[in-house]
Amino acid sequence: MVKMASMNVLLETVQLSRRFGGLEAVKPTNLRVRQGEIRAIIGTNGAGKTTLVNMISGRIKPTSGKVFFKGRDITRLKAYERVAIGIVYTFQIINIFKNLTVYDNVVLAVQRGLTKGRWGVLGLDQRLVDREAEKILSRIGLSDSSSQIAGTLPYGYQRMLELAMALPLKPELLILDEPTQGLSAEEIERVATLIKDLAKEVTILLIEHNIRLVLELADTVTVMDKGAIIAEGRPREIEENAEVQRVYLGI
Binds other proteins by CB under 8 A, chosen from 52, 129, 213, 223: 129
Binds other proteins by CB under 8 A, chosen from 26, 40, 67, 107: 107
**What are the backbone angles phi and psi of residue 205, rounded to the nearest 5°?**
-110, 115
Strand, coil or helix: 177: strand
Of the pair 6, 116, the CB lying nearest other proteins is at 116
The least distance separating other proteins from the CB of residue 15, rounded to whole angstroms, comes to 26
* Separation in Å, CA 210 to CA 34, 160, 162, 213, 250: 22, 17, 19, 5, 15
The interface region with other proteins, picked from 16-24, 76-84, 187-195, 206-214 by CB under 8 A, is 76-84
Binds other proteins by CB under 8 A, chosen from 7, 84, 192, 247: 84
What residues contact 78, with CB distance under 8 A and at least 6 apart? 58
* Separation in Å, CA 126 to CA 95, 144, 233: 25, 20, 46
- Is the Cα torsion angle 107, 109, 114, 115 positive or negative in sign? positive
The least distance separating other proteins from the CB of residue 121, rounded to whole angstroms, comes to 5
Binds other proteins by CB under 8 A, chosen from 53, 83, 140, 204: 83
Binds other proteins by CB under 8 A, chosen from 29, 111, 210, 241: 111
Interface positions, 169-228, toward other proteins (CB under 8 A): 169
Contact between 97 and other proteins (CB under 8 A)?
yes
Distance (Å, rounded) from C-alpha 156 to C-alpha 206? 18
* Separation in Å, CA 94 to CA 43, 161, 225: 20, 10, 25
Beta carbons of 222 and 207 less than 8 angstroms apart: no
The least distance separating other proteins from the CB of residue 95, rounded to whole angstroms, comes to 5
Letters for 8-47 (x = contact with other proteins by CB under 8 A, - = none) are ----------------------------------------
If one counts every other C-beta atom within 10 angstroms of the C-beta of residue 113, the result is: 19
The least distance separating other proteins from the CB of residue 210, rounded to whole angstroms, comes to 23
Of the pair 118, 236, the CB lying nearest other proteins is at 118
Strand, coil or helix: 68: strand
One-letter amino acid for residue 105 of the chain: N
The least distance separating other proteins from the CB of residue 102, rounded to whole angstroms, comes to 13
- Give me the residues that bind other proteins (CB under 8 A), please: 57, 59, 78-80, 83-84, 88-89, 91, 95-100, 104, 107-109, 111-112, 118-119, 121-122, 124, 126, 129, 165, 169
